[in-house]
Amino acid sequence: MSFFKRLKESIASKTEAVTNIFKEGLVKTSKAIVERVEELITRRKKIDEEFFEELEEILISADVGVNTVVGLIDSLRAEVKARKIEEASELQPILSEKLVEILKGKDDPELRMAESGLTVILFVGVNGVGKTTTIGKLAHKFKSEGKSVLMAAGDTFRAGAIEQLEVWGQRVGVDVIKQSAGSDPAAVMYDAVQAAKQRGVDVLLCDTAGRLQNKSNLMDELNKIFRVIQREVPSAPHEVLLVLDATTGQNALSQAKLFGEKSGVTGLVLTKLDGTAKGGIIIAIRNELNLPVKLVGLGEKMNDLQVFDSEQFVHALFAGLIQGKDEPASEDEQQQ
Ligand SMILES: Nc1nc2c(ncn2[C@@H]2O[C@H](COP(=O)(O)OP(=O)(O)OP(=O)(O)O)[C@@H](O)[C@H]2O)c(=O)[nH]1
């Protein structure tokens, strides 16, 4: 059975709607990688050193990352040799398989929740990456699953951050625990955990100030927040999610490396995948870091947050090719 058929069958049980959300969100990245690979295959026809060099360049320019690309190309070379493949057209399924291998290796998309009682999830990341938006979207997701949610406005540093969270609170119907701008974020967290416990809330989502990873005083602030939360709920925080902006490509990877080491990060959220051709960064992040990608942002609306699923990701990335193989593309896709 062909790789594409297997991939299709393996996702058959999942809703078409979710796949479509990924597909729409990944159009730019898909164009940057898949269309160029297809063009290369059609043009060169045979697999030789120049073919591999061009393929390397395509993947690097889609921000898959030099280290990852070098490893990927080496394993493709070995596979081509072992399977005695000469035709470039035969490489597509092998490339997809290798990508799934890299992405799947560290799959752990489920958010860790408290066994009973309150779950606390902390969000960290530099300014403007999409933390507040992600918290709002996740609050909506939990609510639609029937959970009660509270949000903590821990970014007391940036003017407007509290109001922005309140706007999301109103939009999704979730209360926000806040103090005035400039107050101690650890005090906000204390209030929020108390309120969450008193109200018997299921999930508390905590915003924090966007901080530079090399500012040790800001790291101290984060540690203080940890201590306050842990004193009140010993098993918390259940997740510390580092939010990264996919449009920044390699910069997102360096932030993950620096931040991940220092602040007890347990998982990643990659936002704005819809707005970039640099979605290949997710492959680099998965290959180079020991941190799971838990959620991806595929737009600005409430429902544009998805639990990361590597098979759906690769399926969406290669959707055009898969459809080209065994079913006609829809009108929409033909226009893209
Ligand atoms: N297209 C797109 N835009 C997004 C996504 N996530 C967030 N944004 C936009 O990115 C911008 C920044 O998002 P914020 O949530 O304000 O970022 P933040 O990290 O909270 O910023 P600070 O509060 O400054 O730390 C906003 O305009 C969001 O609408 C996404 O998945 N896709």
Which CATH code of 1.10.760.10, 2.40.240.10, 1.10.287.1080, 1.20.120.140 fits the domain covering 3-107+315-329? 1.20.120.140
271 labelled binding-site residue: yes
286 labelled binding-site residue: no
Write down the pLDDT at residue 95. 84
Q: How far is the CA of 178 from the centre of ligand 1 (A)?
A: 20
Write down the H helix ranges in the chain: 3-10, 16-25, 27-30, 36-44, 49-61, 66-82, 91-104, 131-144, 161-172, 185-199, 216-232, 250-262, 281-288, 310-317, 319-326, 331-335
Q: How far is the CA of 185 from the centre of ligand 1 (A)?
A: 21
Contact in structure between 319 and 4 (CB atoms under 8 Å): no
- With pLDDT > 70 as the criterion, what percentage of the chain qualifies? 84
Contact in structure between 193 and 120 (CB atoms under 8 Å): yes
Task: Tell me the per-residue pLDDT of 23-68, one tens digit each, with 9 for 90 and over.
Answer: 778 888 888 888 888 889 889 889 999 999 999 999 888 888 888 8
Which CATH code of 3.40.50.300, 3.40.50.2300, 3.10.580.10, 2.40.30.10 fits the domain covering 119-308? 3.40.50.300
Write down the pLDDT at residue 212. 57
Contact in structure between 282 and 103 (CB atoms under 8 Å): yes
For ligand 1, atom 13, the nearest C-alpha belongs to: 130
Q: How far is the CA of 271 from the centre of ligand 1 (A)?
A: 8
Sketch the domain layout of the chain as residue ranges.
3-107+315-329, 119-308
Strand, coil or helix: 83: coil
Write down the pLDDT at residue 328. 38
Write down the pLDDT at residue 13. 47
Q: How far is the CA of 132 from the centre of ligand 1 (A)?
A: 7
Write down the pLDDT at residue 321. 45
Q: Does the CA dihedral 171-173-174-177 come out positive or negative?
A: positive
Write down the pLDDT at residue 32. 80
Mean pLDDT estimate for the chain? 84
Out of 25-29, 103-107, 224-228, 293-297, pick the least confident. Answer: 103-107
Query: How much is the average pLDDT of 6-15?
Result: 52
CB 244 near ligand 1, within 6 Å? no
Distances (CA, A) of 67 to 59, 71, 129, 202, 253: 11, 6, 25, 41, 12
Instruction: Kindly tell me if the per-residue pLDDT of 207 is higher than 50.
Output: yes
Write down the pLDDT at residue 194. 97
pTM: predicted TM-score of the whole model, two decimal places: 0.83
Task: Tell me the per-residue pLDDT of 125-171, one tens digit each, with 9 for 90 and over.
Answer: 888 899 999 999 999 999 999 999 999 999 988 878 999 999 999 99
Write down the pLDDT at residue 325. 39
Identity (one letter) of the amino acid at 186?
A
CB 312 near ligand 1, within 6 Å? no
209 labelled binding-site residue: yes
Query: How much is the average pLDDT of 63-84?
Result: 90
For ligand 1, atom 14, the nearest C-alpha belongs to: 130
CB 245 near ligand 1, within 6 Å? no
